[in-house]
Structure 1
Amino acid sequence: MREWEHYEHTADVGIRGYGSTLEEAFEAVALALFDVMVDVRKVEKRECHELEVEGEDLMGLLYSFLEELLVLHDVKGLVFGDFRVKIEKDGTYRLRVVACGEPLDYGKHEPREEVKAITYHDMKVERLPDGRWMAQLVPDI
């Protein structure tokens, strides 16, 4: 089950995603990222984009994943509200995602904060004692 939240951080907002699998945690933290920018509950799945990124470790993978989503947002003006992630490891980590959303509509999506960049600040990707996965970081707002 995917869950996400924002958490207080000095002068910024942190984003955190939980899931019963690593993939679900990555999906949830991506939802948290876009919910910083818009009300993700109002984003419809009108178009989907497939992306593939790699990372030497899970934090590098998370950084690359969210950075690619942010680039799509900045370049094409898209916001996303649904993600289907698949992660494989064969020496390095590889993530494939289908990200679905639509062009940003200021009247519909209620824009909030502008996320300028993904950072490694307070970044963690870990398995929790209850068996769930958690992914978190503080983006540059």
Structure 2
Amino acid sequence: MSDSGFDMGLEDANQAGVYGVGDGDLGGLAAAARDAGLKVLRIDLEACADKRTLLMRVGTQLDFPPGWSRNWDALSDALRDLSWLPANGYALLFSQADDLRSANPEDFDTLLDILSEAASRWAEDKVPFWAFFELHDGGGAGADEEE
């Protein structure tokens, strides 16, 4: 049971993955993730319409080491490492995700795939790695959620 009295199972690495959530749900998820002992990292995707902007925002919010190559492979490598952000687990909260999903569905889908792969990699070490995307339709767009 968490400090909030509501246990969402966020400490379970086998359930972790990529999920879509409704508008306004990220605040509660952030509190629940902190209660579960996870490092909460927020990435604002408002007006994010391309890969370049997306990678810049993720790299900045996750404090990627200087000199990281801003490309999909480097993002994948960094998300499966995170040695500069030691934690018992991670919760990445992507707000305004519809902006990227609408403007560039291919980049959005690539991001989902990379995050899903990272979650699987972390699960091998029994470390929960969650990614939640705030979407107007509330979900169904995450790699672990069926549309």
TM-score bucket of the superposed structures, by smaller chain? under 0.3
- Normalised by the length of structure 2, the TM-score is 0.27
Q: Which has the bigger relative contact order, CA under 8 A and spacing at least 6?
A: 2
Higher normalized strand content (fraction of residues): 1
- Normalised by the length of structure 1, the TM-score is 0.27
